[in-house]
Structures are given as structure tokens and as C-alpha cells.
Structure 1
Amino acid sequence: MMAIIASEMLEHIFSSIHNGIIVIDQHNRIVFLNKAAKKLLHIEHDHWKGKDIRGFIPTTQLPHVVETGESTIGVKVNIAGRACLVNRTPLYCDGKRIGAIAVLQDISEMEHYHQLSKKMETIIEFSTDGIYVVDGNGVTLMVNSAYEKITGFRREELIGRHMEELVGKGYFDQSVSLLVLQQKQRVSILQKIGGKKDVIVTGNPVFNDQGEIDMIVTSVRDISKLNELKMELEKAKSFSQMSQHRYTFSTSDSDEQIICRSPLMKTLIHKVEQIAAYPTTVLLTGPSGVGKEVIANMIHHLSPRKDQPFIKVNCAAIPETLLESELFGYEKGAFTGAQASGKIGLFELADRGTIMLDEIGEMPLSLQVKLLRVLQEKQIQRIGSRHAKKLDIRIIAATNQNLSELIASGKFRSDLYYRLQVIELFIPPLAERPEDIEPLLDHYFTFYCKLYRIHKQLSPRTKAVLQQYHWPGNVRELKNLMESLVVSVPARYIEPDDLPTHIRSQSDTSSCLTLKEKVEQFEKRLVYEAIEKSPSLRKAAERLGIDHSTLIKKLKRWQKTETPRPYSY
């Protein structure tokens, strides 16, 4: 009874198997066919039992297996028009060969999917975008040829390696695949490949039926050439005159800083912060060197236009005959010598941004009329053109001249002056804001020390001399002097004697020094230089030829009137 149940159970098991199973006896007669085999052989009746297998599969090699006892594994054959893989094995009972078993796997569908997979691989391989695929754990599965070409990496270097390892090895500065695994969504980033090539990388997660990431397909597009073209375009827009310092073009933040402590400048900066957001025309006045351009930078970079062009034009630096074509541009063939393609003007170049007209008092009267139209109508007309073009620009004018006197002498139009004077900001000279001298000295001296990697100090007496100086060249003169002192004075500690003669001569401090005080100044310089060159104060004392205790006493006496310095005793 148990044997019958076991036999039925085995028959059910074999019938449930997906692969076809055929069993024949030693006379090549069919003993058993499971459901998958019947389907494969298109058998819908039970008349197969006891029939010769060759009546259903004429080319079968099962009789050969029965005869020889040889097994065959993974043989590809065509059965009833379908591609199959066949395993053939002899059947034994008590050591006697009693038949053979064939196991058939229909691979026709697998062949279809294999062909489809090959087509997809071909499509991916011929994509002009780089394709990079990782599994749900971040391990590289495949890359295409375009990716190899863009990055210079061979697929053999990448496949099978985890993204964290590749980032650690410096292949990428960051991995979009790892970001996708963290965020569970599409992620796009700008990435630097191999530390030199810029690409846009988009990682797309592929989810399985359980909602888990099965793999990530990343597309990579090289934008290095686009960036190069963009840079070339900006250079072209800046024109060849940039090298002649006629004007400058930028959209980035200025590296200039406004350093101030005086109430006058604090009030001015507050005013700038108040008006920067509006497109109102601004007139900057004040003597040369006070920082009108720095204030103009601040206005632009505090405005909504900060990411747009900021063009600075020195009206005094461009010849009168060229100024109009520079500002307004011209059409092709507008005049003899004009570029064949025409030329965009600086006003157009500044569209949606800001233009600074420095030295506005030097602008010819003929151009003042055209500038007035730009201010009134917010449009320009190229030389040789019949059409006006609307512009959205903010105009900042600057001058160190007295425009009222120029108007009185007929050199400047009063109507233009009133158009420019919507907001007038006067930047006072440094002599009128002495509170700003010390922070400016500290800022620029420190700046140039860091820039040139030089360690120096201004002595308190030197600072005192500089604070008493009237600075006719204003901030520009102060800045240039700090750079000069840092690079040209050999001593580490800068004393009043290191200052230019015209500065020392106007200082009461230097003229009041006695012989003893001047000798002490010289002594200080020798001592401090010895300390700088020695690993300890004892070694410095030896270098100077004095006792260690004598050197300590001198330093303690001097430090009562100077900023303390760290020394190694």
C-alpha cells in the first residue's frame, strides 16, 4: 500500500516539474512522460504508453544511451520546432541497465530574451552618453564605450568594484549612485572625473516588486567642452580692449572689502544697502583713490542683478573717436574699418546687469546727449542701425571732478547731471575719516603678508606716523604703501625710518626723536632681527654678543610700550 502511495507521489512530483521528463525501457518504449514533456511533444492523449520513442522524436539519441550506457549533458537539439537543451542518462535497476531518462529544457523563450538582451546591450553600447550601472549594493555591473571614452577609465578597472572603493581611490570626487541609494530617488549632480573633466551625472533607481532598489542606471554627459565654449563666449563678449584696461567685465563677486570704523563711512554703507535693491541711477563722487569702484561693486553685488554682467568703463581711457562705438556698438558696414559682422556695444553687453561709467566728467558732449536718451528711454541704437533696442540696465556713474563747475564752463550738460543725480553718494577722503586709517592699515598689511607669505610687523611708532599722515592719495595710496613695505623692507619689524621721506617729514613723531631714541630704534631692529633668526633668546643673545639677562631686560622694557610678542626663553 505504501509503495503505491509513494509511486503516485513521485508521478505527481515529476508532473509538476517545469522541465520535460521522458523515460524509456530497454526496448526504447516510452514508460513515462510528464506534463511538460507532453506539452513540448504536442501529445494530448494517453496512447503514447508503450510506443517507440522514435515515433515521436525521430532523431532522439535515447536508444543509443540504452545501448551504450553513455550519458550526455546539455546537448542543444530541436524538438517539435523548439530549441531545447537535453540531458540523457541511462536507467539502472539492481545493476542492470533497464532503460534511459531524458530531461528537456525549452530554451526558445530564453533565446528570445537573450537576443533582446543583446539588442539592449548594443543600444546601450552605441549611446553617445556614458552609461554606468550598479546593483542594489553599489557594486559596478557594467559601463558602455561612451563612458570609457568620456572618463578615460577602462571597464575592466570598474566592473565588480564598489562605488565607495572607487571614490576612495580618486576615480570620482563623489558618487551619484551612493546618493541614489541614500535618497531612494533620481539624483543629478555636477561631477569631476579623474580630477579634471566636468560631467553632468544623473542616477536613476530601478525598483523591484518589493519596492527595493534592484539597480541604478546612471547617464553621464561631458560638459567640459560646453564650459570651454561658455568661457570663450565670455571672453568674446569682453572684447580685446580688456587687455588695454579700457573696461572690465565680470559676474563674480569682487574680492575688495569695505573696511571702516568712521561714522561717515558707516552712514554711507547703510545708504548703499538701502538703495542697492532698486534699479535707480547712482552718481558716485569723491576725490581719486577713495574707493568709488569698491562702492559700485557693493551696489551691484547687493542687488538682484548680482549674477548678471557688471561692466566698468573708464570714459577717460577710451579715445573720443572710439567711445561711441564701444558703448553703443555698430552694424556691419556702418563705417570704414568696421568689423564685417558688426559689434555688440557695452550697453548691450550689460543688459539685465549693471554698467559703471567711471570718469563720467570726461565724456564728450556729443555722447552726453545719447547717454541722456539711454537714461530716459532705457534703449540704445547701434551705429548704422534703424532700430532701437530696449535694455534693462542699471547705470552707476563716478567722477572725481566737480560737475557743477564743468556745467558752468559748458563742458557738462545740466540735464544729464540731474538725470545721473537721482542718488548721489559722496565718498569722503581719508583725511576726513581718520578713524578708518588704523583698520585699513591692519587689513592691507595683513593681506599682503598672507599673499606673499611674509611674516612682518608694523611697530607702534610706525603706525602712529602713518595715522598722522594726511593721505592725499586716499585708500589707493595706503593700499599701495602697505604692499611696498611688505615686499621691499628687508627687516621683519618695520620702523618709521623704513617709511618714505615725504611721510616721515610730515610726521611730528619722527622730528621729535632725540639721538638716544633714534639709537634705541636702531638697536631694536638689530635685536628683533637676531631673535627672528635664532631658535631661542639665549642663541639670539650669543648672536648679539650680550648676556642673556641683558637681552631679557631690554625686551621687558620695550614691551611696556609695544604689543607683546611670544618669545622662547
Structure 2
Amino acid sequence: MKNAMMTEYWKPIFDSMHNGVVVVGLDGKVLQLNASAQKLLQVHDGEWEGVHITSIIPNTKLHQVGESGLSTIGEKMEIQGRMCMVNRTPLYRGDEVVGAIGVIQDISEMEHYISLLKQLDSIVEFSTDGIYVVDRYGKTLMVNTAYEQITGFTRQELVGRHMADLTEEGYFDQSVSLLVLEQKKQISLIQKINRKKEVIVTGNPVFDSDGHISMVVTSVRDITQLNEMKQELNKAKSFSQIQNHRYTLMFDGQEHSIVFRGDKMRRIYEQIRQIAPFPTSIMISGPSGAGKEVIANLIHHMSDRKDQPFIKVNCAAIPEALLESELFGYEAGAFTGAQKEGRIGLLELADKGTILLDEIGEMPLPLQVKLLRVLQEKQVQRIGSSKVRKLDIRILSATNRDLRERIQAGQFREDLYYRLLVVELQIPPLSERPEDVAALIDHFFQYYCKAYRIDKQLSEETRHLLNGYHWPGNVRELRNLIENLIVSVPSTVIETHHLPRHIYESGLPDNLSSLKARLEEFEKRAVREALEKHGSIRKAALALGLDHSTLVKKMKRWNP
């Protein structure tokens, strides 16, 4: 009576269990199956009582547990075509083993989902696009291999980190994930990785059943190479007929203006404004580096031809044997080595626009005759062709030579000289216009700081020394020096000892003519450089091979 009551009490509990439960005796015969087990094993009441467990589950080891008294936990096995997780434990009555209990959990669906997750993980891992996932709080959950390859970052340094912290540390210039969490919508933008590589990122919000963002999945595609290819394509289109970089078709927009403060360049600028609108031939003369090409750029830009081709040819840079074919072009088969399809010449390319013949004084005499004919007849004839092509070009020429002397020497044609010299612009060397130096220094300093995104300053002593230098290399020397100082000096303030030695020494007072005075000035410079490099007097003294006290005394003597 008592056992019946117990059975009646436990059976509903037993049958309500989700997992299947099987009870066997020491003889391996089934004593009890709950409803879940019957459904899983596909047996009904009356079909299992007293039946040996192996008749229902052929591959079971449950009957062995009663004999050994040992439990087995978490064993996977296939039952009735489904993957199951099985736990087996001995059944005790007091201290005596009287059988075994098996708990069976159907994990087929779980295995299916695990398999799907592994497949998805493989798809994500082998995607050529980078994948970056953050949770609803902005913390990194995962990145794939492609992301590591694109960015150079490893998942170990990213996973678990908050996007705001990573952005602040310079991993990215901005976070699309944080923007998605804020705006709750898909967002795409261009992101700069590690301040160098450009990628396009698209952040996609993943919403839960309550409509809240549970995570953000971002796809990342490297467009650095794409941008480079685009730039190369644009460059190739612009230079499709122009080879070997001996001449250029386009120019930097920064070159359209000239920088000056004095009256000499102001008069030249006013003259350019006056003559630029007319198709007049102009000769620009002046020493190397004075800015003749900048003047030519400005003339073209201020003319009504500014939207037409502007081709620059360096007559000294092209071998004499090639200069004629480059300028005039040639027909197919015109000479050995000619391109099969022939080639358009630079003069034709400049039609309706402007051509600059730089270093015109170096042009060979036979070619000067042909150029003179082009100027007189306004037409050109390719090598190997009988066809004459009309030309509408403006010719600018530039030289650092005295062409009158070359005429006297028989190296330049006088008739060509006067054809080119309708208007002459003489650009003075920088040493003759010192009032422009300060303006040029400021212009190039600001330009390169902005171009390279560097924040630096010139000390007053350095500025004073540069203003007083005679600049034999003219504007080109000044420009190159400023660029050099901005990119090569590690400190934010550029001091006099950072300058090249010949410029630094040019500013030394005349009373430093004695060897002792010059040695002391050199010693000061060496100490400044050591202090800047090592950051402390003690370390600087060690690097210079001096006692700390000796260096302190020297510094006190120099700066009482």
C-alpha cells in the first residue's frame, strides 16, 4: 500500500521531466521509463517492462554501471538516430547497489545549432572583408582574420576593449560602432586606421526581440589600394601622351600664387595681371630656383586658357635625339624604334592651351629652326608626315642663361629669340629682395605644417638668422630647407642649432673670427643638441663625456 502510494506520488514528477530517465536492475532489465524516455526510445507502456535494456538501446552501457558501481557523465551517443548526452549513475538502496539510472538528454537540435554556428564562424573567419563586432555597450566581442590582416591589429589587443578607449588611443580616427549605438541605424563612413590606412566601414545594428540593440556588426573593406589605383588611373589619363616625367601636364594648386612683400615682385605681379589675358609669347628669365615655373603657372592660371592643357617641357632634360619627336610627334614607322601607332607631339597636346619651354637656351640649333617655323606659321608637321596641323598655342619660355651671350656665341638663333621675347619678365634672385624672405618663410612653414599635419614653431633667433641669410639657391633653397626642418627636427620649436651648419655659421658675429671663439660656439651647439636628445643635464653630460658639475658650470657661464 505504501509503495503504491509512493509510485502514485512520484510518477507525475517523473513523467514531467524533460530529459529521459531509464531505471534498470542489476540484471539489466528495465524497471522504469518516464514519458520523455518512452518518446525518445519510441516504446509504449507494456512494451518495456522487464525487457533487457539492450533490446531497446543496443549500444548502451547502462547495465554495466550496476555491476561496476561507477558513474559516467556527459557521454555522447546516438539513440534512435538522434544525438544524445547520457549520464549514468548506480542506484542505491541504503549502501547496496540495486541497479542503475540513466538520464538521456536529446542534443540533436543543439548539435545542429552548434554545427550552424561553426559554419557561420567559418564564413565570418574566411570572409575577405574585415568583420568587427561590439556589444550593446560598445565593447569589442570579436574580429576576424581579415580584419587583423587589413589593419595590422590582433584580436588579443582589441577583444574586450571599449571602442571609445581604442579611438582615443589612435587605433581609429572615429568609431562607426558608437555612432550606430547612438543613432540606432546602419551607418557607413571612411575610417582611418592607425592614422595611415583608409577603410570603408559599414556598421549594422542587430536588434533583440524587445527592439533594443544587442550588438553592432561592422564590415570593413580596405580602400587604400583602391584609392591608389584611382589616383594612378587619373594620373595615367592626364599623362597618357606624356612620357618619362620630363615634362608635366598638371600642377599643384598651391603654385597658382606668388608670395611677396616687396616692390620688385609687386611690379612683376602687376605686369602678369596686365599681360596674362593676351596670347602673347613671354620669356621668363632669372636664376635657378627663383620661381620662374611659379610665374608661368600664374600666367596660365590668370589667362582665358586656364581650363585648357598646360604642358611644361624641360628642354635640357630630354636627350637631343628625342627632343624633336617629343615636341613634334611622329607617324607610324617614321624611324627605327618608333611606336607602331605613331605618337602625338607635345605641341599638338598643348593646342588651345599653353606650353612652357623651360631652359629654352639648351635647345639644339636645328630644332630652333623648326620651332621658329611653328611660331611663324602657327602649324606643326609630325615627323614622317606630309600633313600640316593648325595650332593655337601660347608659348612661354624660361631660362637662367643670358641668351644674348649665347646668340653672340652662335648657340642661339637671334630671330627665335625675338619671336619668344615679345614680353620679358626678369625674376630677381632672392638676395636682391630680402623683404620677401620673411613672407616666404611664413608661407612655406604654414604650408608644410598643414600638409604633414605637424604643429611646429620657429624660434625668434632662428627666424632672425633665416631672414639674414643670403639664399644663393633662391626660393627653391628656402622651400626645401623649411620642409627639411619640419619633417626632420623632433622638437616642436626649431632652434638655431637645428639649422644646417653653413646657414648657422653665416649668422655668427664677426668677432667670432678667433679659433677659441668658434670652438666655444661649436661646444654650445653640441650641448644644446645633447640636452634636447637626452632630456636631462646628467644624461647629456654622460653622452658628452663630461662630469655633471663641469656641464653645469659651462651652462652657468653661457647663461649667467
Which SS does the other structure have where 1:260 is aligned?
coil
Q: 1:56 to 1:346 in 2, by over 3 A?
A: farther
**Does the aligned pair in 1 maintain the 2:86–2:104 contact within 8 Å?**
yes
Q: 1:337 to 1:68 in 2, by over 3 A?
A: closer
| Aligned equivalent of 2:217 | 216
| Aligned equivalent of 2:436 | 440
**Does the aligned pair in 2 maintain the 1:493–1:528 contact within 8 Å?**
no
| Aligned equivalent of 2:539 | none
- Using the TM superposition, give the Cα deviation of residue 86 of structure 1 relative to its aligned residue in structure 2, in angstroms: 0.8
Q: Distance in 2 between matches of 1:176 and 1:5?
A: 74
What is the identity, as a one-letter code, of the residue corresponding to 1:105? Q
The residue correspondences of 1:414-425 to structure 2 (distance < 5 A) are none
What is the identity, as a one-letter code, of the residue corresponding to 2:436? L
Which SS does the other structure have where 2:285 is aligned?
coil
Which SS does the other structure have where 2:90 is aligned?
strand
Q: Is 1:364 aligned with 2:354?
A: no
Which SS does the other structure have where 2:85 is aligned?
strand
**Does the aligned pair in 1 maintain the 2:285–2:424 contact within 8 Å?**
no
Q: 1:113 to 1:327 in 2, by over 3 A?
A: farther
| Aligned equivalent of 1:31 | 32
What is the identity, as a one-letter code, of the residue corresponding to 1:398? L
- Taking structure 2 as the reference length, what is the TM-score of the superposition? 0.55
| Aligned equivalent of 1:207 | 206
Which string of whole-angstrom CA distances, capped at 9 and with x for unpartnered residues, describes residues 277-323 of structure 1? xxx886674651374521444578899x9999964224687688755
The residue correspondences of 1:43-58 to structure 2 (distance < 5 A) are 43=43, 46-47=45-46, 50=49, 52=51, 54=53, 55-58=55-58
Q: Distance in 1 between matches of 2:386 and 2:14?
A: 92
**Does the aligned pair in 2 maintain the 1:138–1:178 contact within 8 Å?**
no
The residue correspondences of 1:444-463 to structure 2 (distance < 5 A) are 455=462, 457=464
| Aligned equivalent of 2:551 | none
- Using the TM superposition, give the Cα deviation of residue 88 of structure 1 relative to its aligned residue in structure 2, in angstroms: 1.5
Q: How many residues align?
A: 457
Q: Is 1:143 aligned with 2:144?
A: yes
Which string of whole-angstrom CA distances, capped at 9 and with x for unpartnered residues, describes residues 261-282 of structure 1? 3689679879999999xxx886
Which string of whole-angstrom CA distances, capped at 9 and with x for unpartnered residues, describes residues 379-410 of structure 1? xx987799999xxxx97642479xxxxxxx98
| Aligned equivalent of 1:73 | 73
Q: Distance in 2 between matches of 1:297 and 1:205?
A: 48
Q: What is the percent sequence identity of the aligned residues? A: 33
Which SS does the other structure have where 1:364 is aligned?
helix
Q: Is 1:40 aligned with 2:37?
A: no
| Aligned equivalent of 2:452 | none
| Aligned equivalent of 2:336 | 336
What is the identity, as a one-letter code, of the residue corresponding to 2:85? L
Task: Tell me how large the CA RMSD over aligned residues is.
Answer: 6.6
**Does the aligned pair in 1 maintain the 2:310–2:350 contact within 8 Å?**
yes
| Aligned equivalent of 1:378 | none
Which string of whole-angstrom CA distances, capped at 9 and with x for unpartnered residues, describes residues 69-122 of structure 1? 322111222211112111122344555555543222223333334444444455
Q: Is 1:174 aligned with 2:188?
A: no
Q: Distance in 2 between matches of 1:64 and 1:223?
A: 66
Which SS does the other structure have where 1:338 is aligned?
coil
**Does the aligned pair in 1 maintain the 2:86–2:102 contact within 8 Å?**
yes
- Using the TM superposition, give the Cα deviation of residue 190 of structure 1 relative to its aligned residue in structure 2, in angstroms: 6.2
The residue correspondences of 1:134-283 to structure 2 (distance < 5 A) are 134-136=133-135, 137-139=138-140, 141=142, 143-144=144-145, 160=159, 162=161, 174-175=171-172, 178-184=175-181, 185-187=186-188, 189=190, 198=197, 200=199, 202=201, 204-205=203-204, 207-209=206-208, 210-214=211-215, 216=217, 218-219=219-220, 221=222, 227=228, 241-242=244-245, 246-248=246-248, 252-254=252-254, 258-261=258-261
- Using the TM superposition, give the Cα deviation of residue 247 of structure 1 relative to its aligned residue in structure 2, in angstroms: 2.4
What is the identity, as a one-letter code, of the residue corresponding to 2:60? T
Q: Which ranges of structure 2 fall in alignment gaps of 5 or more residues?
A: 362-367, 400-413, 449-457, 482-498, 525-557
| Aligned equivalent of 1:558 | none
- Using the TM superposition, give the Cα deviation of residue 257 of structure 1 relative to its aligned residue in structure 2, in angstroms: 6.3
Q: Distance in 2 between matches of 1:168 and 1:153?
A: 13
| Aligned equivalent of 1:398 | 396
- Taking structure 1 as the reference length, what is the TM-score of the superposition? 0.54
- Using the TM superposition, give the Cα deviation of residue 326 of structure 1 relative to its aligned residue in structure 2, in angstroms: 2.1
| Aligned equivalent of 1:101 | 101
Q: Distance in 2 between matches of 1:147 and 1:481?
A: 44
**Does the aligned pair in 2 maintain the 1:139–1:162 contact within 8 Å?**
yes
**Does the aligned pair in 1 maintain the 2:360–2:397 contact within 8 Å?**
yes
Of the three residues 273, 285, 288, the one matched with 2:285 is: 288
Q: Distance in 1 between matches of 2:109 and 2:353?
A: 64
Q: 1:371 to 1:297 in 2, by over 3 A?
A: same
Q: 1:308 to 1:59 in 2, by over 3 A?
A: farther
Q: Distance in 2 between matches of 1:90 and 1:370?
A: 114
Which string of whole-angstrom CA distances, capped at 9 and with x for unpartnered residues, describes residues 438-458 of structure 1? 431334578999999994856
| Aligned equivalent of 2:545 | none
Q: Distance in 1 between matches of 2:102 and 2:417?
A: 107
| Aligned equivalent of 2:484 | none
**Does the aligned pair in 1 maintain the 2:255–2:298 contact within 8 Å?**
no
Q: Distance in 2 between matches of 1:23 and 1:426?
A: 113
What is the identity, as a one-letter code, of the residue corresponding to 2:88? R
Q: Distance in 2 between matches of 1:41 and 1:274?
A: 102
Q: Which ranges of structure 1 fall in alignment gaps of 5 or more residues?
A: 374-380, 402-408, 467-474, 496-521, 536-566
Which SS does the other structure have where 1:326 is aligned?
helix
Which string of whole-angstrom CA distances, capped at 9 and with x for unpartnered residues, describes residues 189-214 of structure 1? 46567x98x56464544624244253
| Aligned equivalent of 2:454 | none
Q: Distance in 1 between matches of 2:107 and 2:351?
A: 67
- Using the TM superposition, give the Cα deviation of residue 335 of structure 1 relative to its aligned residue in structure 2, in angstroms: 3.1
Q: Is 1:493 aligned with 2:507?
A: yes
**Does the aligned pair in 2 maintain the 1:135–1:141 contact within 8 Å?**
yes
What is the identity, as a one-letter code, of the residue corresponding to 1:52? V
